[in-house]
Amino acid sequence: MAVHNFIAIDLGATSGRVILATTSEGTIQMEEIHRFPDTIIQMQGHFYWDLPAIYQSVLKGLSIVAERGIAVEAIGIDTWGVDFVCFGKDGAMLRLPYCYRDPHTVGAPDEFFKRMSRKVLYNKTGIQIMNFNSVFQLDTLRRNNCSALEAADKILFIPDALAYLLSGEMVTEYTIASTAQMINPRTKQWDEDILKLLNLKAENFGRMIMPGEKIGTLTEEVQRLTGLGAVPVVAVASHDTGSAVAAVPAVDEKYAYLSSGTWSLMGIESQEPIISEESFALNFTNEGGIEGTIRVLKNICGMWLLERCRAEWPEDLGYGEIIAQANEAEAFRSLINPDAECFANPESMTKAIAEYCEKSSQPVPQSVGEYARCIFESLALRYRQVVEMLRTLSPLTIERLYVIGGGAKNDTLNQFTANALQMPVETGSSESTAIGNVMMQAKWAGVVGSISQMRQMIRESLTDSKHYEPQQSEVWAAAYKKFIEITK
């Protein structure tokens, strides 16, 4: 069978990677070529993404591939959602893009709702209300008379901006645009009423394309800087969760997925958006997926909690040791709502957790193990709460949970999740985002022809998938009651 090489540019909220993927004999092999930090710059009271540094790191990764003399068929890009870059009429970037964690959108939804109600906005888009959604970022910039927005000819989401820097083509990929809360999920086009409130038009964005379409080829400049040839840049599900969900190794439709990383994204795949009074009340989102599917999901503050705690702990304290200490700590000593606003971006995460426990009359964690156990158990119980919500919304039976992303390696959290949900948990690849990215490139190249073929190749390539059966049902049922009481 022919060998095909693809490059996935996979950018997460803390780090980015250039990954080389090779498909052969019905399997896929991944190799991390270059890893780099996705730097956030704090400057003049705001948080920005250092997009030029990210771009230079991407070029370095591409150069390494070129130096090895590997023939590459395509390149695909995926990143986090909602953030965007303003470009002028001359094609130049007008300023660094804001990071979604910037505080300038605190209270922004309420300002927007003065002109369009919360319910109308949700019914139009099916997207859960979160203050950093692009619609609220853009409205905040408009209200603050942002000079970059006023001068912008084109607004490109982060993966689209990188694709432009690599190919010279300005596009808007559908799955990333769907996170903006400005797209009608039924028509898959911009909502004109929302754009009008922002003083924008569809022409202010790149042409809309779907996953699996060609964007362009590397510019002559990029070819010269990297040593690669005229390699096609292909649209994948450029929202990283969209790529991750594309890589769920499911064999049927009776499942929920959990993309577990800095954020936990829990949901189902649907052929149609689920927009109802109930989904509105539960604040579920309907984001674009591959092949016209809709990802009905809820954002949950995931390993961000632990990552921020780790920043306060000794540098030599490894992840394995943290988990070991969590396993030794007392069970259900302290529980938190992972999605409480106080955990969004505190100066000290340990202090935020301590204050939450004090206010809810619980023991304050005293050790690394107690903090980690509190986080893991709270996440598992929150996952149960969200699965129960999904069961009220989904027309399908949910019989198992697939965990994909970095959290697939966390045995403790995955077992806790099986215990909390009282149903089997199976893991996909910890590289699901990059794999989903690559598989859409492979579909474009004709290596696979459908989602089912993609997932079959993914299943046959998995070497470290694990299965967790639920345990301690009565203990975890009691813990869930405690969790609901504390967090309500």
Residue 157 and residue 61 share a domain? yes
The Cα–Cα gap between 216 and 214 comes to: 6
Q: Is residue 262 pLDDT above 90, yes or no? A: no
Model pLDDT for residues 406-434, shown as the tens digit of each residue: 889 999 999 999 999 999 999 998 889 99
With cut-offs at 50, 70 and 90, classify the pLDDT of residue 297.
very high
Query: For 42-85, what is each residue's pLDDT tens digit?
Result: 999 999 999 999 999 999 999 999 999 999 999 999 999 999 99
- Residue 411, in any domain of the structure: yes
Domain count, the chain: 2
Bridging pattern class, strands 15-24 and 4-11: antiparallel
**pTM for this model (two decimals):** 0.88
284 and 420 belong to one structural domain: yes
Q: Which tokens hold the place of 424?
A: 């089997």
Asked if residue 182 has pLDDT above 90, the reply is yes
Helix, strand, or coil here: 19? Answer: strand
Is 438 inside a domain boundary? Answer: no
> pLDDT tens across 133-181, in order?
999 999 999 999 999 999 999 999 999 999 999 999 999 999 999 999 9
DSSP-derived secondary structure for 76-143: EEEB-SS-EEEE-TTS-B-SPPBPTT-GGGTTHHHHHTTTS-HHHHHHHH-----TTSHHHHHHHHHH
Residues 61 and 145 in one domain: yes
Q: How many CA atoms lie within 13 A of 25 on its CB side?
A: 2
pLDDT tens readout for residues 435-479:
999 999 999 999 998 888 888 899 888 888 899 999 999 999 999
Tell me which of 187-196, 320-329, 426-435 is least confident: 426-435
Task: Assess contact for 400 and 424: CB atoms under 8 A.
Answer: yes
Of the pLDDT bands very low, low, confident and very high (cuts 50, 70, 90), residue 95 is: very high
Query: What does the pLDDT average to over 257-272?
Result: 92
On whether both 368 and 392 belong to a single domain, the answer is: yes
Query: Which single residue is written with the structure tokens 């993914």?
Result: 458
Residues 113-127: tens digit of each pLDDT? 999 999 999 999 999
Is the pLDDT assigned to residue 112 strictly greater than 70? yes
Q: What is the CATH number of the domain that holds 52?
A: 3.30.420.40
Q: Are residues 210 and 342 in the same domain?
A: no
Question: How far apart, in whole angstroms, are the C-alpha atoms of residue 260 and residue 318?
Answer: 19
Residue 118 confidence (pLDDT): 97
How many helices and strands (H and E) does the chain possess?
Answer: 19, 21
Could you list the active site residues? 240
What is the structure's pLDDT at 149? 97
What would the pLDDT profile of 208-226 be if each residue is shown by its tens digit?
999 999 999 999 999 999 9
**What's the whole-number average pLDDT of the chain?**
95
Q: What is the pLDDT of residue 414?
A: 97
Pair (267, 231) in one structural domain = no
Q: Which domain holds residue 347?
A: 248-428+449-488
Q: Given 220, 240, 260, which residue is the final one in a domain?
A: 240
pLDDT of residue 1: 59
d(CA 59, CA 67): 12
Q: What CA–CA distance (Å, rounded) separates 65 from 212?
A: 23
* Domain endpoint, select from 240, 268, 283: 240
Query: In terms of domains, do 411 and 315 share one?
Result: yes
